[in-house]
Amino acid sequence: MELFPEYEEKPPEALPSPLADRMRPSNWDEFFGQGHLVGEGKPLRRLMEKNSGFSFILWGPPGAGKTTIARIIAKLTQSEFHEISAVNAGVADIRKIIERAKKLWKASQRRTMLYIDESLRFNKAQQDAVLPVVEDGTIRLIGSTTENPSLEVIPALRSRCQIFRLEYLDQKDIEAVLKRALADEGRGLGAEPPTLNEDALNLIVSHANGDARRALNVLEAASEYARSEGETEVVTREMIEGIIQRAAVLYEKGGTEHYDHASAFQKSLRGSDPDAAIYWLAKMIAGGEDPRFIVRRLIVTAAEDVGLADPQALVIANAAAETVDRIGMPEARIALAQAVIYVANAPKDNSAIVAIDRALDDIQNKGESYPVPDHLKDSHYRDAKKYGYGVDYKYPHDYPGHYVEQDYLPKELKGKKYVPPKPREPKPRF
């Protein structure tokens, strides 16, 4: 018995491509973001466009343009382009591409480009298979990954491939991607564009969190939903909230809200209020803030406000930063929360920032930049003592208690105090 025989009688039709696929840029003019790598005149862009065997790995978040960059390069260099996924490709697939690449080069001097998506999923045997052809230039390899390649790519392959870090797209880039899709009549929604009010557009941009694909997917769903309503094709904020199933958060990553929330976060940490610090952390996460921005503020606070009162705070804040880089969100929120609670509860001491800023002020603003006293100068060469360098230096370990009175500042600053007195013991909060 045949299942669904009616489908056998009709010729198959290609399914319509998603908007994100249709709007994939085909040249640099349509590409948004990653200006530090592929902006006009940037060395990487110029280098990639040359028909060379230069291989590299693109490391960056989803929807940042890794696949698009590879396809644009292949088109501009007129390379034969093979795209495989490390999830379902094996060594046999790679060998077929290698054999074809060798024949193509011999016949027409035309290069082959192999793009491996999620290249970190390749095992050692698969990575070893491409080593010789990357080495001799038979294949130009471009790998892409959302995770740190230093952790999984074998050293031999890393040494043959430059690693480039892509960043999340900023809000202006995401907005530009959406507006291009709304205006494009051939590939986008320009033939029958829905009307997006500003609140709806801003919510899509914020929800995307730097991912162009995610933004276009939401826009496409919102457009279809609005069209199904019949009379109106206006996309509202309420529609977007219903599609993404997430409460709207009053937070603008690119505006004053961004800095106001960061300020409230740091001041809560400095003020030893872990509950408020956790609230502002959650608000920034819910608003789609870059976790690396959050953890930078946390590290600064650990050094500036906790300082020597509890040096472990800086260690824990840096550990949270490493966790953000290694595993990303949403799991990294746990390490962030742990570090936030620790820093907020830690005793406070700002002597480090006070001391360095006082010294910098003397040197940079007051002109108190003096040479090193002779007895403190380097004396580890033959003629040093001839000039009097290091002659009167007293080696502390030759004295009781490993301490001896001597001047370490220039004579013009003798007795100068930069480091504040030891702070009083903090009162317990609980």
Q: Which two tokens stand for residue 212?
A: 């162009």
pLDDT of residue 338: 97
| Per-residue pLDDT at 277 exceeds 50 | yes
The strand pairing partners of 142, in sequence order, are 56, 115
User: Is there a domain that residue 24 lies in?
Assistant: no
Quick check: helix, strand or coil at residue 33? coil
pLDDT of residue 428: 47
| Per-residue pLDDT at 316 exceeds 80 | yes
Picking from 124, 168, 134, 136, the residue whose alpha carbon sits closest to that of residue 56 is 134
pLDDT of residue 423: 57
329-374 residue pLDDT tens = 889 999 999 999 999 999 999 999 999 999 999 999 999 999 999 9
Task: Check if the beta carbon of residue 206 is closer than 8 Å to that of residue 287.
Answer: yes
* Rounded Cα–Cα distance for residues 219 and 211 (Å): 13
Task: Check if the beta carbon of residue 180 is closer than 8 Å to that of residue 218.
Answer: no
Range of the domain at 68: 34-165
Confidence at 286, pLDDT banded by 50, 70, 90 = confident
CATH assignment at residue 406: 1.10.3710
Task: Check if the beta carbon of residue 80 is closer than 8 Å to that of residue 111.
Answer: yes
Task: Check if the beta carbon of residue 86 is closer than 8 Å to that of residue 152.
Answer: no
| Per-residue pLDDT at 78 exceeds 70 | yes
Phi-psi category of 284—alpha, beta or left, where left has phi over 0 and alpha has psi -120 to 50?
alpha
b/e string for 214-243 if b means 16 or more Cβ within 10 A? bbbbbbbbbbebbeeeeeebebbbebbbeb
Last residue of a domain, one of 322, 345, 368: 345
Does one domain contain both 329 and 370?
A: no
Does one domain contain both 43 and 107?
A: yes
Q: Cα–chain-centroid distance for residue 42?
A: 19
Picking from 184, 130, 154, the residue whose alpha carbon sits closest to that of residue 20 is 184
Does one domain contain both 382 and 290?
A: no
pLDDT of residue 43: 73
The per-residue DSSP string of 347-408 comes to ----HHHHHHHHHHHHHHTS----PPPGGGS---STTTGGGTTTTT---GGGSGGG------
Does one domain contain both 365 and 340?
A: no
356-365 residue pLDDT tens = 999 999 999 9
User: Is there a domain that residue 57 lies in?
Assistant: yes
Task: Check if the beta carbon of residue 378 is closer than 8 Å to that of residue 384.
Answer: yes
pLDDT of residue 1: 41
Does one domain contain both 43 and 155?
A: yes
User: Is there a domain that residue 276 lies in?
Assistant: yes
Last residue of a domain, one of 345, 371, 394: 345
Q: What's the chain's Rg over C-alpha atoms?
A: 30
pLDDT of residue 4: 45
Does one domain contain both 118 and 182?
A: no
CATH assignment at residue 48: 3.40.50.300
Last residue of a domain, one of 113, 136, 165: 165
Segment 30-54 mean pLDDT: 82
pLDDT of residue 15: 62
CATH assignment at residue 196: 1.10.8.60
N- to C-terminal Cα separation, the chain: 75
202-223 residue pLDDT tens = 889 988 878 899 999 999 998 8
Q: How many domains does the chain have?
A: 4
User: Is there a domain that residue 161 lies in?
Assistant: yes
Segment 291-311 mean pLDDT: 95
Lowest mean pLDDT among 74-88, 122-136, 367-381, 390-404: 122-136
Does one domain contain both 74 and 147?
A: yes
pLDDT of residue 345: 97
The strand pairing partners of 143, in sequence order, are 57, 116
User: Is there a domain that residue 235 lies in?
Assistant: yes
In this predicted model, which residue has the larger pLDDT, 1 or 199?
199
Percent above pLDDT 90 for the chain = 42
Does one domain contain both 386 and 287?
A: no
User: Is there a domain that residue 131 lies in?
Assistant: yes
* Rounded Cα–Cα distance for residues 122 and 285 (Å): 32
User: Is there a domain that residue 26 lies in?
Assistant: no
Does one domain contain both 49 and 147?
A: yes
The answer to whether the peptide bond before residue 330 is cis (omega within 30 degrees of 0) is yes
Does one domain contain both 57 and 157?
A: yes
Segment 263-283 mean pLDDT: 95
* Rounded Cα–Cα distance for residues 149 and 257 (Å): 34
Q: Which two tokens stand for residue 120?
A: 């970190």
pLDDT of residue 5: 47
Phi-psi category of 27—alpha, beta or left, where left has phi over 0 and alpha has psi -120 to 50?
beta
User: Is there a domain that residue 361 lies in?
Assistant: yes
Q: Which two tokens stand for residue 227?
A: 């069209």
pLDDT of residue 51: 67
Does one domain contain both 206 and 111?
A: no
Confidence at 242, pLDDT banded by 50, 70, 90 = confident
| Per-residue pLDDT at 127 exceeds 70 | yes
* Rounded Cα–Cα distance for residues 150 and 127 (Å): 14
Does one domain contain both 339 and 355?
A: no
Q: What is the total residue count of the chain?
A: 430
